[in-house]
Structure 1
Amino acid sequence: MTDTSSTLRIVWVYPDLLSTYGDQGNALVLRRRAEQRGVCTEIVHVNSSDRVPREGDIYLLGGGEDRPQVLAAHRLRACGGLLRAAEDGAVVLAVCAGYQIVGESFGDDEANPLPGVGLLDIRSGRGQHRAVGEVVADAAPALGVGQLTGFENHQGRTALGPGVAPLAETRVGVGNGDGTEGCFRGRVIGSYLHGPILPRNPALADVLLGWAMGDLPPLPPSWSERLHEERLAAAG
Structure 2
Amino acid sequence: MARTVHVVLIYQSLLGIYGDRGNALVIERRLAWHGFEPRLTIVEPGDKVPDDADIYLLGGGEDSAQITAVRALIADGGLHRGVERGASVLAVCAGYQIAGTTFTVGDRDTVIDGLGLLDVTSTRGPTRAVGEILARWEGRTGDDAWISGFENHGGHTRLGPGAKPFARVEVGVGNCGDGTEGAVNGKVIGTYPHGPILARNPALADHLIELALDRKLKPLVRPEITELRRQRLRAARR
- CA deviation profile, 1:37-78 (whole Å, cap 9, x unmatched): 211001100001111110100000000011011100111111
Quote the offset at 1:221 in angstroms.
2.7
TM-score, length-scaled by structure 1:
0.95
Q: Is structure 2 residue 87 aligned with structure 1 residue 90? A: yes
Structure 1 residue corresponding to 2:18, chosen from 12, 21, 29 = 21
Which residue number corresponds to residue 154 of structure 1? 153
Percent identity over the alignment? 51
- How many pairs does the alignment contain? 233
Where structure 1 has 5 or more consecutive residues not aligned to the other structure, the ranges are: none
Q: Is structure 2 residue 168 aligned with structure 1 residue 175? A: no
Quote the offset at 1:224 in angstroms.
2.5
Q: Is structure 2 residue 34 aligned with structure 1 residue 50? A: no
AA matched with 2:182: G
Aligned residues: CA RMSD: 1.3
- When residues 201 and 98 of structure 1 are mapped into structure 2, their CA distance, relative to the original with a 3 A threshold, is same
Looking at structure 2, the residues matched to 225 and 165 of structure 1 have their Cα atoms a distance apart, in angstroms, of 28
- Once structures 1 and 2 are overlaid, which stretch shifts more, 189-198 or 218-227? 218-227
- Once structures 1 and 2 are overlaid, which stretch shifts more, 143-152 or 40-49? 143-152
Which residue number corresponds to residue 190 of structure 2? 190
- Once structures 1 and 2 are overlaid, which stretch shifts more, 41-50 or 219-228? 219-228
- Once structures 1 and 2 are overlaid, which stretch shifts more, 92-101 or 72-81? 72-81
Where structure 2 has 5 or more consecutive residues not aligned to the other structure, the ranges are: none
- CA deviation profile, 1:138-162 (whole Å, cap 9, x unmatched): 1111587411000000101001011
1:35 is paired with a residue whose SS is helix
- When residues 52 and 143 of structure 1 are mapped into structure 2, their CA distance, relative to the original with a 3 A threshold, is farther
Divergent runs of 4+, >6 A: none
Matches within 5 A, 1:63-74: 63-74=60-71
Which residue number corresponds to residue 232 of structure 1? 233
Q: Is structure 2 residue 56 aligned with structure 1 residue 59? A: yes
Quote the offset at 1:5 in angstroms.
3.5
Q: Is structure 2 residue 205 aligned with structure 1 residue 205? A: yes
Looking at structure 1, the residues matched to 158 and 132 of structure 2 have their Cα atoms a distance apart, in angstroms, of 21
- When residues 128 and 230 of structure 1 are mapped into structure 2, their CA distance, relative to the original with a 3 A threshold, is same
AA matched with 1:157: H
- CA deviation profile, 1:133-190 (whole Å, cap 9, x unmatched): 0000011115874110000001010010111110000010011012111011111000
Looking at structure 1, the residues matched to 212 and 227 of structure 2 have their Cα atoms a distance apart, in angstroms, of 25
Which residue number corresponds to residue 131 of structure 1? 129
